[in-house]
Amino acid sequence: MTLRSSNPRAVTRADVAARAGVSAAVVSYVVNDGPRPVAPATRERVLAAITELGYRPNAAARALRLGSSELLGLMVPDNRNPFVNELAHAVEVAAERRGYSLILANAGRSLDREQRQMRHLVARQVEGVIMVPMSREVNAAELRAAGIPLTILTHTITVTGVGSVSTDIHAGAKLALEHLIGHGHRSIALVIGRGAGAEPDGREVAWRECQEAAGLAQGPVFRADFTREGGYAAGLAFLAASPRPSAIFTSSDMQAVGVLHALHEAGVGVPAEVAVVSFDGSPESAFAWPVLTTVKQPIEAMARAAADQVLGLIGNPGQGPSHQQFPAELVIGRSCGCP
Amino acid sequence: MTLRSSNPRAVTRADVAARAGVSAAVVSYVVNDGPRPVAPATRERVLAAITELGYRPNAAARALRLGSSELLGLMVPDNRNPFVNELAHAVEVAAERRGYSLILANAGRSLDREQRQMRHLVARQVEGVIMVPMSREVNAAELRAAGIPLTILTHTITVTGVGSVSTDIHAGAKLALEHLIGHGHRSIALVIGRGAGAEPDGREVAWRECQEAAGLAQGPVFRADFTREGGYAAGLAFLAASPRPSAIFTSSDMQAVGVLHALHEAGVGVPAEVAVVSFDGSPESAFAWPVLTTVKQPIEAMARAAADQVLGLIGNPGQGPSHQQFPAELVIGRSCGCP
């Protein structure tokens, strides 16, 4: 099958050239406004032929000619995670405002798949990639070799030579912990990801520091996937702990939804018996029962910044990486014990 | 910027041709296995040059040459709807197994945007489009003119000449209604979409028919968006109804989550005071409180069928549209009153 047989209306540059009595290169110069000048009368003949024939340079052809696909790749760790989808939506809106379309690539929570998908984006000649990484193991070598800029979004991950847009999760978690301590809790459990990386997660650091600053003993840590199921498993483990802390800080809303489910099943009142404060500020948190008190990441602002950053790097490969960090804010619901 | 300046490793077909001492056309015949034959010795020289130079025909160039982008478009009505994202994930997996990547296009619950995004997919030369339509107003003219096959997914929508993969929502809703009636409910409210179309929604038809068959008076209808917020508004309206039905059938899980929220806030026990049965079978339904009894759509099977259908139409534009309908099943949770 060729393009022409699949598309009865397709008109080629050669058709336009023949109609206008010029070479195909001249048609290209008119369409792309260069690189060579075209005499005004010739230009008019070409434009007339384009209109007459209904010629529309297609995206693949333009990508080849201009070296520009007007495509950005967005690599996400799990496209079934609602928080990730909020982020993807915000990036899509930000990219569209700048005239770019997104190809969404999903790692499906597998590092192998993340690698495969990254090669895929390179083959599609995206102009830039925004990546919500699975872990700290970001392999940017293939993108770098292909001259495709990369911006990392949401994690406080540093990769040599790669720019990032992140939330100050350490300061955000501090707000959550100080709020729970302010409610009088003296023992606070932590539900967090498995974090195989070298540095501890900023939320875990804040949790340790705030307990220390308040003179509290360190509560138990429950490590789980960033999913509802992971949170549910952590909730069951929490219920089995003895003595049982009076509060839980969960490092994602998805986990908090699972934790709440385990507490409900066991008939444990939230916040009366156990207070919960969460992290992310996803739409689901507002419809949890009780409504989650959560640390909200400024998703739209971050998405805009990531789009700006990666687009700013296109054609400026020598530019050094920049790192932007956004503050998070505490959004009060009912799960913390506030009236 | 040209491709070469943005990609220091990029080797062109011309480079390979020069190294092998053949024309660029011959390189193309070797890479694409045709359309003209190449002498074995020449073929070997070209392959050696390809290996030596590390030439990789790029995706945009292949799309132009082969008329194949290996891209499918998936148009969704709202990429923040978790059920839609489950569907998108399943389509992505099904497409990937067949060697295709997806471009996800989001209508953002706007018919205008749906149209714009559709033109975008045409410009990107996707080979086929799978569409979860916003409404019954599907404008397939542009795709048809471009010879791009379309398959409609999830709605029982019939568009002249367009194939579809759907759930038998009428039979599925019947399962939900008969279950509630079996629990002894004599008054059942309906929460459903705004449905501006000519034909009523199959779920609404089943709701009417089942009440009639059981000799019940028709309960009240609450029309709302297919979102948590829409369900919440419907829940508030339900609470204000007098007399208040003892059961609610909601036509989506998202709406059910919102309805539950309104009932919880009002201190109305579910299922003790009001039973709820929902529709979709999304992951969130299993983590609702109480766990939702819901009619599950067979998402993976439908996604595979939609991918097969649209891929089967590529290159066979004359083939007539086919319609596949999948049965739904009732998944028992706690919201219906089952022990």
The answer, yes or no, to whether residue A157 has pLDDT greater than 80, is no
Nearest one of A135, A330, A158 to A225, comparing CA atoms: A135
Instruction: For residues B226 and B239, give the distance between their C-alpha atoms in angstroms, rounded to a whole number.
Output: 19
Is residue B338 in a domain?
A: no
Is residue A101 in a domain?
A: yes
Per-residue model confidence (pLDDT) at position A94: 86
pLDDT band with cut points at 50, 70 and 90 for residue B1: very low
Least confident stretch, A32-36, B135-139, B332-336? A32-36
Same domain, B144 and B252: no
Find all residues with CB under 8 Å of A69, minimum gap 6, and list them.
A59, A63, A124, A125, A126, A127, B60
Per-residue model confidence (pLDDT) at position B156: 62
Would you say B310 and A281 are in contact if contact means Cβ atoms under 8 Å apart? no
Per-residue model confidence (pLDDT) at position B3: 29
Same domain, B164 and B307: yes
Which of chain A's residues have a Cβ under 8 Å away from the Cβ of B232? Answer: 287
Same domain, A173 and A286: yes
Token code pair at residue A85: 């989808």
Q: In which element (H, E) is residue A157 found?
A: none
Nearest one of B179, B250, B242 to B210, comparing CA atoms: B179
Residue B313 CB-half CA count within 13 A? 29
Across the beta sheet with B329-331, the strand order is B221-223, B188-192, B247-250, B275-280, B293-296, B329-331
Asked if A34 is an interface residue toward chain B (Cβ–Cβ < 8 A), one would say no
Is residue A240 in a domain?
A: yes
Report the number of distinct structural domains present in chain A.
Answer: 3
Question: Do residue B123 and residue A61 have CB atoms under 8 angstroms apart?
Answer: no
At B164-214, the pLDDT tens digits run: 999 999 999 999 999 999 999 999 999 999 875 667 889 999 999 999 999
Instruction: For residues A141 and B103, give the distance between their C-alpha atoms in angstroms, rounded to a whole number.
Output: 24
pLDDT band with cut points at 50, 70 and 90 for residue B8: very low
Nearest one of A273, A189, A200, A201 to A231, comparing CA atoms: A189
Task: Please tell me which residue of chain A has the smallest CA distance to B84.
Answer: A80
Is residue A206 in a domain?
A: yes
Instruction: For residues A268 and B36, give the distance between their C-alpha atoms in angstroms, rounded to a whole number.
Output: 75
Same domain, A196 and A152: no
- Give me the sign of the Cα torsion angle A313, A317, A319, A322: positive
Is residue B337 in a domain?
A: no
Per-residue model confidence (pLDDT) at position A295: 98
Residue B118 CB-half CA count within 13 A? 24
At A80-122, the pLDDT tens digits run: 787 888 888 888 888 878 778 788 888 877 888 788 788 778 7
Distance from chain centroid for Cα B250? 20
Task: Please tell me which residue of chain A has the smallest CA distance to B116.
Answer: A96
The answer, yes or no, to whether residue A124 has pLDDT greater than 80, is no
Would you say B89 and B118 are in contact if contact means Cβ atoms under 8 Å apart? no
Same domain, A8 and A112: no
Beta strands at A128-131 and A101-106: parallel, antiparallel or unpaired: unpaired
How many A×B Cβ pairs under 8 Å?
Answer: 136
- Give me the sign of the Cα torsion angle A257, A261, A264, A268: negative
Task: Please tell me which residue of chain B has the smallest CA distance to A149.
Answer: B6
Question: Do residue A85 and residue B104 have CB atoms under 8 angstroms apart?
Answer: no
Is residue B53 in a domain?
A: yes
At A7-23, the pLDDT tens digits run: 334 677 788 888 999 98
Least confident stretch, A54-68, B162-176, B266-280? A54-68
Beta strands at B293-296 and B275-280: parallel, antiparallel or unpaired: parallel
At A182-237, the pLDDT tens digits run: 999 999 999 999 875 667 889 999 999 999 999 999 999 999 998 999 999 999 99
Asked if B269 is an interface residue toward chain A (Cβ–Cβ < 8 A), one would say no
Q: Calculate the alpha carbon distances from A196 to A134, A201, A248, A255 in Å.
A: 11, 10, 22, 18
Token code pair at residue A219: 């509560």
The answer, yes or no, to whether residue A170 has pLDDT greater than 90, is yes
Token code pair at residue A233: 């498993």
Tell me which of B7, B236, B287 to substitute to probe the interface with A (most A C-beta atoms closer than 10 Å). Answer: B287
Across the beta sheet with A247-250, the strand order is A221-223, A188-192, A247-250, A275-280, A293-296, A329-331
Per-residue model confidence (pLDDT) at position A230: 96
User: Which tops the pLDDT comparison, A77 or A245?
Assistant: A245
Asked if B36 is an interface residue toward chain A (Cβ–Cβ < 8 A), one would say no
Instruction: For residues A197 and A276, give the distance between their C-alpha atoms in angstroms, rounded to a whole number.
Output: 26
In angstroms, the separation between the Cα of residue B213 and the nearest Cα of chain A is 36
Same domain, A53 and A133: no
Same domain, B282 and B241: yes
Residue A70, classified by CB atoms within 10 Å of its CB into exposed (0-12), middle (13-18) or buried (19+), is middle
Q: A196: phi > 0 → left, psi -120 to 50 → alpha, else beta; which?
A: alpha
Is residue A333 in a domain?
A: no
At B23-60, the pLDDT tens digits run: 888 887 776 656 678 888 888 888 788 777 767 655 55
Asked if B9 is an interface residue toward chain A (Cβ–Cβ < 8 A), one would say yes
Average pLDDT of the segment spanning A58-78: 66
Instruction: For residues A280 and A233, give the distance between their C-alpha atoms in angstroms, rounded to a whole number.
Output: 20
Q: What are phi and psi of B337, to 5 degrees?
A: 110, 0
Same domain, B157 and B238: no
ipTM reported for the complex surpasses 0.85: no
Rounded (10°) CA dihedral A1, B139, B195, B225? 80
Residues A78, A197, B284: CA angle, nearest 5 degrees: 25
Instruction: For residues A105 and A91, give the distance between their C-alpha atoms in angstroms, rounded to a whole number.
Output: 13
At B228-254, the pLDDT tens digits run: 999 999 999 999 999 999 999 999 999
Instruction: For residues B79 and B201, give the distance between their C-alpha atoms in angstroms, rounded to a whole number.
Output: 22
Q: What is the CATH number of the domain that holds A269?
A: 3.40.50.2300
Per-residue model confidence (pLDDT) at position A1: 25
Same domain, B283 and B212: yes
**What's the mean pLDDT when you consider all of chain A?**
85
The residue segments making up the domain with residue A47 are 3-58
Question: Do residue B6 and residue A145 have CB atoms under 8 angstroms apart?
Answer: no
Q: What is the CATH number of the domain that holds B8?
A: 1.10.260.40
Is residue B10 in a domain?
A: yes
Residue of A7, A68, A106 lying closest to B1 (CB–CB): A68
At A237-271, the pLDDT tens digits run: 999 999 999 999 999 999 999 999 999 999 999 99
Tell me which of B66, B102, B104, B316 to substitute to probe the interface with A (most A C-beta atoms closer than 10 Å). Answer: B104
Same domain, A241 and A292: yes
Per-residue model confidence (pLDDT) at position A251: 95
At A309-339, the pLDDT tens digits run: 998 888 776 677 888 999 999 999 999 999 9
Average pLDDT of the segment spanning B316-332: 87
Question: Do residue A85 and residue B85 have CB atoms under 8 angstroms apart?
Answer: yes
Same domain, A207 and A290: yes
Which of chain B's residues have a Cβ under 8 Å away from the Cβ of A79? Answer: 85, 88-89, 92
Same domain, A95 and A112: yes
Residues A164, A166, A169: CA angle, nearest 5 degrees: 145
Nearest one of A130, A185, A171 to A154, comparing CA atoms: A130
